[in-house]
């Protein structure tokens, strides 16, 4: 059984704000964090950037960069911090490396029509289910509603809830425990992977509420 | 222009906890509240029950009961506090009475499969859009995520957000203002009616989270 106090976690893509926010916080918590990218040089550049953030926070530099395939092979948990349009082709490519491992989907398929954002329903029901249909992995759906820009700043506090779903109960439990280790996040089991569209679709809703009410960095709490 | 400080509000069906919670609070705020039911006698019985609650809270009895058709004719705003399976046939029946008026849809189509609840996607996209396709009314979608049982108790406080959507901007604004008059509720414009499924589907998600985490009365806040 994996020890949720020290895990090898890969941020695939790892370039967006969610990737930064998770990488830095998991590294500070003592996990082994790997940033993956399509090209090794880009991954190493990213790792250096993240290590500079760690140093600026008075922490030891300890994040390494690897090509996505090597990052996925080495990690116990791989988080798909990749724009959803590119996530599925990346998944095809990483299928062998991710076999039977825990894969986290924060993917939210959405589109803008007129002046509103809409959740894009996929034939599989959700992005997480599509990922699961491609991979032979233990897919857990999480982190969709975290306001990523604020999450990538490290001098601000927040209190956000994270709805987590998945069909592999042990994998889901590990992701919930990891999430609860992060100050200000509180994770809840929301059921099987098939409920993922109900979580993913909160993200375009939050964006619409922010745009129309001139608000920023809205997350969600269940109270 | 309607005066949102004194409106005629009908709770159609009005029998569930959401109906009670809204009826009592709107009455106390000074609005004219009508409880509608299919049969006049049942509506009057309900009104008496609600008036007894008002009296127990030290308030004046002032809610009246009418058959749904008369309630809809008399009211400026009709709220469909009816189980979603029956709401659409009721809407057909009330089409004339509700013509061009404000109609509020708190409807959430959902079903249980296995041990989880799922949002039921309707061909129109959402329950609110289906209601709008039947009626020639100004349909506003709201109140889906209010934990109704707690909302029907009047000695407890809460802080819940209400996402509101609709295509008639004036109607939506009135519903937002009315909602913000209720202590503990905060309403947000979430966009056109077409985003309603993203709001409605939060309700089965909340139920799943409650069931799996042994929690009660979970609403939502955007923070």
- Shortest Cα–Cα distance, B11 to chain A (Å): 26
Contact (CB<8Å) B118/A198: yes
Q: Is B126 on the interface with A (CB under 8 A)?
A: no
Contact (CB<8Å) B220/A221: yes
| Cα(B85)–Cα(B99) distance, integer angstroms | 22
Q: Is A204 on the interface with B (CB under 8 A)?
A: yes
Contact (CB<8Å) B191/A116: yes
- Shortest Cα–Cα distance, A39 to chain B (Å): 37
Please give the average pLDDT of every successive group of 10 residues along chain A, which has 223 residues.
Answer: 84 89 97 96 96 97 96 98 95 98 98 97 97 98 98 96 98 98 98 98 98 97 98
| Cα(B218)–Cα(A137) distance, integer angstroms | 32
Strand, coil or helix: what is A21?
A: helix
Strand, coil or helix: what is B36?
A: strand
Please report the ipTM that was assigned to this predicted complex: 0.96
Instruction: Mutate one of B157, B172, B198, B217 to test the A interface: name it (highest A CB count within 10 A).
Output: B198
DSSP for residue B193: G
Tell the burial category of B61 from Cβ atoms under 10 Å away from its Cβ (0-12, 13-18, 19+). Answer: middle
Instruction: Report the DSSP pairing between strands A185-191 and A160-166.
Output: parallel
| Cα(A47)–Cα(A24) distance, integer angstroms | 10
Which residue from B172, B178, B162, B189 is spatially nearest to B7, judged by alpha carbons? B178
Measure CB to CB from residue B202 to each of A121, A158, A202 and give the nearest one: A202
**Residue located via tokens 């994770």:** A187
The stretches in chain B having pLDDT less than 50 are none
* Alpha-carbon separation of residue B197 from A19, A76, B106, B182, B190 (angstroms): 29, 36, 11, 24, 11
Which residue from A140, A48, A129, A49 is spatially nearest to A88, judged by alpha carbons? A129
Specify the pLDDT at position A61. 87
Which residue from B208, B196, B223 is spatially nearest to A164, judged by alpha carbons? B208
Q: pTM of the full predicted structure? A: 0.96
Chain B residues within 8 A of A212 when measuring between CB atoms: 188-191
Specify the pLDDT at position A16. 87
Specify the pLDDT at position B1. 53
Contact (CB<8Å) A222/B206: yes
Specify the pLDDT at position A150. 98
Q: Is A217 on the interface with B (CB under 8 A)?
A: no
Specify the pLDDT at position A35. 97
Residue of A nearest to B112 (CA): A195
Other CB atoms within a 10 A radius of the CB of residue B18 amount to 22
Cβ-based contacts under 8 A for chains A and B: 107
Longest dimension (CA), chain B: 49
Instruction: Mutate one of A164, A196, A205 to test the B interface: name it (highest B CB count within 10 A).
Output: A205
Q: Is A219 on the interface with B (CB under 8 A)?
A: yes
Other CB atoms within a 10 A radius of the CB of residue B37 amount to 24
Residue of A nearest to B196 (CA): A205
Contact (CB<8Å) A198/B209: no
| Cα(A162)–Cα(A44) distance, integer angstroms | 30
Length of chain B: 223
CB B109 within 8 A of CB B122: yes
């Amino acid at each position: 059984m994996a020890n949720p106090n020290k895990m090898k976690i890969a941020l695939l893509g790892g370039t967006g704000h969610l990737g930064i926010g998770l990488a830095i916080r998991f590294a500070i918590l003592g996990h082994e964090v790997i940033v993956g990218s399509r090209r090794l040089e880009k991954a190493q550049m990213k790792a250096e950037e993240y290590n500079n953030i760690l140093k600026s926070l008075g922490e030891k530099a300890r994040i390494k960069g690897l090509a996505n395939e090597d990052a996925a092979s080495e990690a116990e948990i791989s988080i798909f911090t990749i724009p959803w349009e590119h996530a599925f082709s990346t998944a095809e490519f990483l299928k062998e490396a991710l076999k039977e491992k825990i894969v986290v989907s924060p993917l939210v398929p959405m589109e803008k029509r007129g002046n509103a954002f809409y959740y894009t329903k996929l034939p599989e029901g959700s992005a997480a289910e599509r990922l699961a249909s491609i991979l032979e992995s233990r897919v857990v759906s999480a982190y969709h509603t975290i306001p990523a820009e604020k999450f990538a700043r490290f001098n601000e506090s927040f209190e956000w809830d994270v709805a987590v779903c998945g069909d592999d109960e042990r994998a889901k439990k590990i992701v919930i425990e990891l999430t609860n280790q992060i100050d200000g996040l509180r994770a809840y089991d929301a059921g099987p992977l098939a409920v993922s569209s109900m979580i993913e679709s909160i993200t375009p809703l939050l964006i619409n509420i922010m745009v129309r009410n001139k608000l920023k960095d809205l997350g969600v709490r269940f109270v």
